[in-house]
Structures are given as C-alpha cells and as structure tokens.
Homo-oligomer: A and B are copies of this chain.
C-alpha cells in the first residue's frame, strides 16, 4: 500500500466510476500525477476532494459551483480540516433551505390531502424564487409569475 492510488482504487474507495473521475478531472475538480506510462496516480488527498464533491452534489450544488468552491482551497499546501470545514459550512444554508422547502411541501401536501384541494395557490407550489429555486430540471420558471385560479368557489373541479 503506497501513498498513490490508481484510478481503479480511487474509484472503489470513493464509489465513483472511473469514467466519472476522468470527467471530474477534465472539469478541473480533481487532479492526478502520471506514471511514466501516462497512467493516473492519485494522491490520498484526492479522496477528500471526491468526498466533498459527492457531498456537495447531495446538497444540490452543480459541478460548476463545486469547482469554484474547490478553487478557493489553498494551492500551496494540503487543505487542512479547517479548510474543508469552511467549504462544507458554505453549503449549510443551502441544505437548510432545501430541507425547509421540502418540509413545507410535505406539510402543504398533508393539508391538501386533508381537503383534497390540490389548489396551486395555497400550496407551496408556484411560489417562484422560493420553492422553484435550486431544484433540478423541470423547476425553471419562465413566465413572470402564476396567477390565481379564479374558479368560482363551489364549481365541480
């Protein structure tokens, strides 16, 4: 066991496919030394970078933003625990926000289930720049903003 990992080893240890690791490298998220025969050899510290990438993805951050965050790490030295803590902390509010939104959606869903209304207005939905923010595809709001459903109260759906 040396201090350098092959791509296969890093893949197994990180749970990330080799093709994804190469992709990350192309995007500048991780780096590798090369052997005389041009094969990648990863320093152990890269494991932490990959860990950070995966965590960040869970939080809902794009690879591009992750790259920006990683770029803020000191280049001269191996990042310290404090460095990593700072980066992780920077996602904290986004994570909180996502949890808050989903929780609110759940509560609203419960309310809607109670009354069976599923009305766009009272639900968390269609609250642009709030619920629609930051979630994956399909959550882009193109039009200015939704308008209340003027169905006369009591009409049959």
Query: Contact residues of A with B, CB < 8 Å?
Result: 1, 11-17, 20, 44-45, 47-48, 50-52, 54-55, 57-60, 63, 78-82, 84-85, 88-89, 91-92, 95-96, 98-99, 101-103, 105-106, 109-110, 112-120, 123-126, 128, 131-132, 135-139, 141-143, 145-151, 155-157
Contacts and interface: CB of A to CB of B under 8 A. Distances in A.
Given A15-B126, A58-B131, A52 B118 contact: yes
Contacts of A44: 151, 155, 157
Contacts of A58: 101-102, 105, 124-125, 131, 135, 139
Given A57-B138, A102-B102, A109-B91, A118 B157 contact: no
A82 B112 CA distance: 10
Contacts of A13: 120, 146-149
B95 A12 contact: no
Given A44-B157, A55-B105, A92-B109, 4 more contacts: A15-B126, A58-B125, A58-B135, A79-B157
Instruction: Identify the 4 closest CB pairs spanning chains A and B, nearest first.
Output: A81-B116, A15-B146, A17-B142, A136-B136
A17 B146 CA distance: 11
Contacts of A47: 120, 149, 151
